Structures are given as structure tokens and as C-alpha cells.
């Protein structure tokens, strides 16, 4: 059943995407080049509609149908409509956020929310009424995080595919058939679309695709790890490590430079890699590799002991911080750990000279 669902969505995306491209051009949903964009010519967007339709076909044919999955589909439909209108008419941030909030509320109303976590040493923490805002913030936050990394051909789609594959593997490990079926339907749709979106892209996914993929990844991560231990609660964050960390450091960067958090810039992870001399494809493939590292860490994390999980998390955070400092993701002067290491080496060299 899983392979059938994957093939249906893959073939559907391959067939539908060229038609969506024509619709985008006819409707005027195109992306104009500017100082923040990497592309230099007008490109049709709205490609996320092809991903959504391919997923929908697979879901209707073989997908698990219950109140939670129907709720996710309803919310996903609202998010796609919001993204499509933004791709065509450039909605204001408030209107776009309203659409995202409505979609998230629909999901919560269907019964999908993080209700409690099991603490180490047989403890439990029940969120109570906080489960509603926590779930809404998670869904809206991840939706926008995927949107922020959608800056290079195939980047958001590839990262989302890796995250979806990670969720699929973990759902198979815990025998969660519902999440497995949703994952293969989404994965096939993304890969089918990537044939047209990888560099040089023929169509962009636009906000239609970025918001939908973020919404689905956020919803599936809750559905798959709804009742989790404290450290397993980290797993969805690891799965979506690239968009979450890029968004986090973008906020830090803007605070450091006394700029509004919502102000766009050209210093995201993919921008920095291009500025350091990587080609378009090299930058995308490098971020794919980082996403795979996060995904593998999440899978290993789920099988590790408490102390093993802590060790993995500590090493991953240290490696992430060193990487951020090395490429100047916050600023070129932000190098606390690297500068400390440099000072230690200088002191050792001075001691050697004095001997």
C-alpha cells in the first residue's frame, strides 16, 4: 500500500506540474526578479498547487481517513488557498498570517494537538489548555520556516523531501500506519515536483508550496509523536533542523543589527553559501547533506538511551554553533567559540616561544 501511494502521487505530480505552470503564467502568478532574488528572469510560481493536488489524489485513493486526517486535509486546503492568493496578489503579512492561523485552528479543532509529555524518571507534564496555543504556534512557525528557506531552485522541496522521508522512517519504526501513508503520499508529490524545480528550475513552488509543505510537516510530526518523552519531543525539531535553525539565527541576526524581526534580508543560509563561493547546485546539495545529518540524528536520537540522547544533542548543537560562526550566519564578527579557540592557540604559541 505504501509503494502504491508513493507511485500514485509521484506520477500525479509529474503529470500535473506542466499544467500548473501554464495556469500560473495565464493567471499572472509569476515571480519577478529583484535584489533579494537569485533568479534573473520572470518565473511562474504556484507550483505548490501541483504538490497539493498530487498529494490529494493519493490521499483520496489510499490515504487513511479519520477525523484527524480530514482535519489536516481541510487545514492544508486553506493554507494552499492562502498561498495561491499570495502568489498572485501579494497579500499583506497580516492577511497571510490569518490564513495560517485559520488552517492551524482547523487542525486543532479536529483533535490534533500535543497534549502532554512524559518526563524522565516516570514523570508527566500535562499541557492542559496550553496544548492549543503550543500546537498553533508550532504549525504556523514551521510553515513560515519552510517559506524562509525557499530561496534556491529545489531547496525547500529537497529539504522537505528529506524531512518527510525521516518522518516516514520513524513512523515505520513505531508502526504508525497513518503517518506512514501520509508521508509516502507527500514524498511522492514532492519528488515528482522536484523534476521541474531542481536547478535550473522551470517553475517555483511559491508560497502555495512552501506554506503547504511546512503545514504538512508540522502536522505529521505532531500526529506521529503526539505522546512523547521529554527528549523525544526534540525529534520533530531535529527532523526540521535546517529551516528551524535558519529561522532562529535570522531572528538573532536581526536583533543583533537592531532590525525588525520581520524585515527580509539576503543573509540566510543559502545566501551565505553563495557569498562564500559555492555554485547554485553546490549550495543546494550542501544543505541537502546538512538536512540528512539532522534527519539521521533524529532517527538515532529516537533509539538512544537518555544519556546517549543528551550526548547526541550536545554534539549537534556544538557543531551547529561552530558552523554558524564559520560562515557568518549571524554576522562576520559573531565568533565567540572560534575566537576563544583562537586565543587558546595564540597563548600556547606564546608559551612555546618563551620556553
Q: How many CA atoms lie within 13 A of 326 on its CB side?
A: 8
**In this structure, is residue 40 part of a structural domain?**
yes
**In this structure, is residue 97 part of a structural domain?**
yes
**In this structure, is residue 276 part of a structural domain?**
no
Residues 6+ apart with CB under 8 A from 83: 48, 206, 207, 208, 209, 210, 211, 212
Task: Report d(CA 205, CA 3) in Å as an integer.
Answer: 25
CA distances, 157 to each of 32, 93, 182, 242, 303 (Å): 20, 23, 16, 13, 27
- Give the pLDDT confidence of 13-49 residue by residue, as tens digits: 999 999 999 999 999 888 776 555 555 568 898 999 9
Task: Report d(CA 161, CA 126) in Å as an integer.
Answer: 32
- Give residue 131's pLDDT band: very low, low, confident or very high (50, 70, 90): confident
147 assigned to a ligand binding site: yes
**In this structure, is residue 209 part of a structural domain?**
yes
pLDDT at 230 over 80: no
**In this structure, is residue 236 part of a structural domain?**
no
**In this structure, is residue 136 part of a structural domain?**
yes
Backbone angles phi, psi at 125, to 5 degrees: -125, 115
- Give residue 129's pLDDT band: very low, low, confident or very high (50, 70, 90): confident
- Give the pLDDT confidence of 142-187 residue by residue, as tens digits: 888 888 787 788 888 999 999 899 889 988 888 889 999 999 999 9
**In this structure, is residue 346 part of a structural domain?**
no
**What is the domain range of residue 210?**
2-227
- Give the pLDDT confidence of 277-299 residue by residue, as tens digits: 888 889 899 889 988 988 888 88
**In this structure, is residue 81 part of a structural domain?**
yes
Task: Report d(CA 44, CA 112) in Å as an integer.
Answer: 35
DSSP 128: G
Tracing cell 489524489 back to the chain, one arrives at 57
pLDDT at 86 over 50: yes
Counted domains in the chain = 1
Write the secondary structure of 264-326 as one string of H (helix), E (strand) and C (coil).
CCCCCHHHHHHHCCCCHHHHHHHHHHHHHHHHHHHHHHHHCCHHHHHHHHHHHHHHHHHHHHH
207 assigned to a ligand binding site: yes
Amino acid at each position: 500500500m505504501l509503494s502504491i501511494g508513493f507511485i500514485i502521487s509521484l506520477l500525479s505530480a509529474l503529470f500535473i506540474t506542466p499544467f500548473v505552470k501554464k495556469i500560473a503564467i495565464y493567471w499572472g502568478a509569476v515571480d519577478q526578479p529583484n535584489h533579494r532574488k537569485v533568479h534573473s528572469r520572470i518565473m511562474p510560481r504556484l507550483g505548490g498547487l501541483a504538490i497539493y493536488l498530487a498529494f490529494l489524489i493519493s490521499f483520496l485513493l489510499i490515504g487513511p481517513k479519520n477525523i484527524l486526517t480530514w482535519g489536516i486535509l481541510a487545514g492544508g486546503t486553506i493554507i494552499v488557498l492562502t498561498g495561491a492568493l499570495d502568489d498572485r496578489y501579494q497579500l499583506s503579512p497580516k492577511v497571510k498570517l490569518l490564513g495560517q492561523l485559520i488552517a492551524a485552528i482547523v487542525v486543532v479543532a479536529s483533535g490534533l494537538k500535543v497534549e502532554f509529555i512524559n518526563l524522565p524518571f516516570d514523570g508527566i507534564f500535562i499541557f492542559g489548555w496550553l496544548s492549543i496555543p503550543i500546537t498553533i504556534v508550532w504549525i504556523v512557525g514551521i510553515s513560515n520556516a519552510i517559506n524562509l528557506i525557499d530561496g534556491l531552485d529545489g531547496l525547500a522541496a529537497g529539504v522537505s523531501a528529506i524531512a518527510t522521508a525521516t518522518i516516514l522512517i520513524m513512523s515505520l519504526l513505531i508502526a504508525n500506519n497513518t503517518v506512514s501513508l501520509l508521508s509516502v503520499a507527500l514524498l511522492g508529490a514532492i519528488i515528482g515536483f522536484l523534476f521541474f524545480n531542481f536547478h535550473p528550475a522551470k517553475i517555483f513552488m511559491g508560497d502555495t508550496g512552501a506554506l503547504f509543505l511546512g503545514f504538512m510537516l508540522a502536522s505529521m510530526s505532531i500526529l506521529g509523536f503526539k505522546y512523547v518523552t521529554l527528549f523525544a519531543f526534540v525529534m520533530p525539531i531535529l527532523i526540521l533542523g535546517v529551516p528551524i535553525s535558519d529561522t532562529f539565527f535570522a531572528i538573532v541576526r536581526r536583533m543583533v543589527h537592531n532590525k525588525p524581526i520581520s524585515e527580509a534580508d539576503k543573509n540566510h543560509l543559502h545566501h551565505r553559501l553563495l557569498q562564500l563561493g559555492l555554485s547554485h547546485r553546490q549550495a543546494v546539495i550542501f544543505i541537502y547533506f546538512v538536512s540528512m545529518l539532522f534527519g539521521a540524528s533524529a532517527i538515532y536520537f529516537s533509539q538512544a538511551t537518555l544519556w546517549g540522547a543528551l550526548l547526541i544533542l550536545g554534539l549537534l548543537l556544538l557543531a551547529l554553533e561552530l558552523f554558524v560562526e564559520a560562515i557568518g550566519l549571524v554576522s562576520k564578527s559573531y565568533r565567540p567559540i572560534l575566537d576563544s579557540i583562537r586565543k587558546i592557540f595564540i597563548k600556547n604559541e606564546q608559551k612555546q616561544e618563551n620556553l
